[in-house]
Each structure stands twice: as structure tokens, then as C-alpha cells.
Amino acid sequence: SAVISQKPSRDICQRGTSLTIQCQVDSQVTMMFWYRQQPGQSLTLIATANQGSEATYESGFVIDKFPISRPNLTFSTLTVSNMSPEDSSIYLCSALLQETQYFGPGTRLLVL
């Protein structure tokens, strides 16, 4: 199995600022992902974090707003840039290991 940790667990930010969320996996994994869970909504895939290359973004998400880094097989970061209240959500890191998808505990973000 894989254990995923995220930092910070929660934050309150002012609009216009940026926040970087860190994700650490206790195993080397090929595939890492970032999801968003807005209040009362389902989980939505933001992007696939590719090791050694640019992230692959889903429709509706762009690199300028959500830059992602993946420097190695166990770590990734997601930055939420130029935040607005609409970005208030839970951001979850996910990793695929042996066809099982594991999720981190999430980062609860409130933008004022």
C-alpha cells in the first residue's frame, strides 16, 4: 500500500495570493495526480503530475492557474495561483500503485 501525506492540512488565504501544497508518498510511484473536491461536489481531476516532464491538465484547468512540479517519484507540489474565493476547496493528492489509487488526506483551502 501507499501512504500519502500533504502539507498544509488547511489554510486560509487572501484573494490574489498563491499557495503551494506539498504531497509526499512513502513509495516510489509512476503516476501521481491532483484532484479537487469542492463543497458538496464530487472529486474532479485537475492534472496528472508527470515525473520529469510537464503536467497533463484536464479540461478547464490550466498551468498558469495550477502549476505542478514532480521532481521525483515520491513528491509533487500543486500551486493555486492568484486565488479567488471560487478556489476554496479541498485539494487531494493521489498516487497509483499496482492499479490501486490512494489519496492523501487533503488540503482544505479557504480564500477570503
In the complex, least distance from residue 50 CB atom to another protein, rounded to whole angstroms: 11
Q: Which is nearer to another protein, 77 or 106 (CB)?
A: 106
Q: Which is nearer to another protein, 48 or 81 (CB)?
A: 48
Nearest Cα neighbor of 32 from 108, 104, 105, 89 is: 104
In the complex, least distance from residue 79 CB atom to another protein, rounded to whole angstroms: 20
Return the C-alpha torsion angle 95, 62, 89, 86, nearest 10: -170
Binding residues vs another protein (CB under 8 A): 4, 31, 33, 40-45, 48, 58, 92, 94, 96, 99-106
Q: Which is nearer to another protein, 13 or 45 (CB)?
A: 45
The answer to whether 36 and 58 are in contact (CB under 8 A) is: no
In the complex, least distance from residue 15 CB atom to another protein, rounded to whole angstroms: 25
Q: Which is nearer to another protein, 37 or 69 (CB)?
A: 37
Residues contacting 91, CB < 8 A, separation 6+: 6, 21, 34, 35, 36, 37, 46, 78, 80, 106, 107, 109
In the complex, least distance from residue 59 CB atom to another protein, rounded to whole angstroms: 12
